Amino acid sequence: MSKLTDYLEQEGVLVLDGAMGTQLFARGLVSGGSPEEWNVTHPERVQDVHRAYVEAGSQIILTNSFGGTRYRLQLHNLQDRVVELNRAAAQNARAAADAADHRVLVGGSMGPSGELLVPMGTMTYEECRAAFAEQAQGLIEGGVDVLWIETMSDLNEVKAAVEGAHQAATAANVDIPISATMSFDTHGRTMMGVTGTQLAKELSGLGLTAFGANCGNNIPDTEAALAEMHAAAPEMILIAKANAGMPRYEGSKLVYDGTPDVMGAYADRMRRSGVQLIGGCCGSGPEHIHMMRQVLSGEVPVPDAVAVGSSSAPFGEEVAPARSRERRMRRG
């Protein structure tokens, strides 16, 4: 039994963290800067984000390594520092987790490469797998408890990432759980047209501990995709890490309409629907996670709040369609 499944067996449901990018921008990261480089140049600020989520009640925190493949790091001329930066990301999260007053696991965030696989792009499957194996090596060396593949659109990229993660774990002689989530942001499908049902059928045989949905266009799309996954693979541990409602611009600032109450109500729906790993993505901060933890622990009643365009329909019932949006290339 892995640390993740052991913790789930004890608690039933675990609370994840929220957005990373917006928290780093609030601490001084400039637009166009590399969040991953901050793991070594400003480790105290990265750890401060992790601590804020731990204090809010997160039981799993994700490393600041969403763009940690060589393809993404190449945008900042950091492609030769993949292992170093991912190791540092894991060590920063590990420091916050180990200092917590409750048990906290560390998930090694592995976001999309930003490249398209052949024939639509130039990246081969083998190159993709190698890139994720390299990233996973650094995360494992830094002490993560789970390899957490997230915000994917292409099933083949997910498969390459999973194979790369397994490859790195085998090379390090460790038995580490692997999870994967996709972003349902285009009329209930991923940007590459994948449905929740397809995800469940295609990924069920890859040796994953959990899979699910994160980011996306809005809360209802995430819930609908998870409903499909639950129907297709009812025995699987599911992950829900939705954005905090719908984004809109207020002047030059992008804000989300999902209040802590909206996210608390969403967390309750997810738990009642059988999802066991529940957190937030873009637009969600420690205040959202704190409300979600309070709701899930029974400390406060479930808020009477529904996200814009959402319904409170449980799994198996229709939810409203949503607008499409561009694929996210940064967590939060």
Percent of the chain with pLDDT over 90: 87
Helices 196-203 + 219-232 axis angle, to 10: 40
Q: How many Å apart are CA 24 and CA 38, to the nearest integer?
A: 9
Q: What is the pLDDT of residues 256-305, one digit of tens each?
A: 999 999 999 999 999 999 999 999 999 999 999 999 999 999 999 999 98
Report field, pTM of the whole predicted structure over 0.85: yes
List, for residues 60-86, the tens digit of each pLDDT value.
999 999 999 999 999 999 999 999 999
pLDDT category at 332 given cuts 50, 70, 90 is confident
Q: With contact defined as beta carbons under 8 Å apart, do 133 and 161 qualify?
A: no
Answer yes or no: is pLDDT of 314 > 80: no
| Domain that includes residue 262, residue range | 3-297
CA atoms 245, 246, 247, 250: torsion sign: negative
Please report the pLDDT score of residue 177 as a whole number. Answer: 98
**CATH code: domain of residue 260:** 3.20.20.330
The answer to the question of residue 330 being in a domain is: no
Give the pLDDT mean for 31-59.
98
d(Cα 299, Cα 294) in Å, to the nearest integer? 5
On whether residue 324 sits in a domain, the answer given is no
Residues 111-135, mean pLDDT to the nearest whole number: 98
SS (H, E, C) 159-196: HHHHHHHHHHHHHHCCCCCEEEEECCCECCECCCCCCH
Number of domain units in the chain: 1
**Does the residue 317 lie in any domain?**
no
Flag whether 159 is in a domain.
Answer: yes
pLDDT digits (tens, 9 = 90+) for 169-212: 999 999 999 999 999 998 899 999 999 999 999 999 999 999 99
Size of the chain, expressed as the number of residues it contains? 332
Q: What is the pLDDT of residue 331?
A: 59
Instruction: Match 């052949």 to its residue by tokens.
Output: 118
Q: Given this model, what pLDDT does residue 323 score?
A: 32
Is the confidence at residue 309, as pLDDT, over 60?
A: no
Measured CA to CA, the distance from residue 329 to residue 72 in angstroms comes to: 9
**Is 161 within the bounds of a domain?**
yes
Band of the pLDDT at 308, cuts 50, 70, 90? low
pLDDT in tens, 148-175: 999 999 999 999 999 999 999 999 999 9
Q: What pLDDT was estimated at residue 186?
A: 87
**Per the domain annotation, does 314 fall within a domain?**
no
Tell me: the pLDDT tens digits for 201-233?
Answer: 999 999 999 999 999 989 999 999 999 999 999
Please give the mean pLDDT across all residues of the chain: 93
Residue 120 lies in a domain: yes
User: pLDDT confidence of 253, banded at 50, 70, 90?
Assistant: confident
Q: How far apart are CA 194 and CA 113, in angstroms?
A: 18
Residues pairing with 238 in the sheet: 211
Residue 90 resides in a domain: yes
**At what angle are helices 125-142 and 82-98 packed, to 10 degrees?**
40
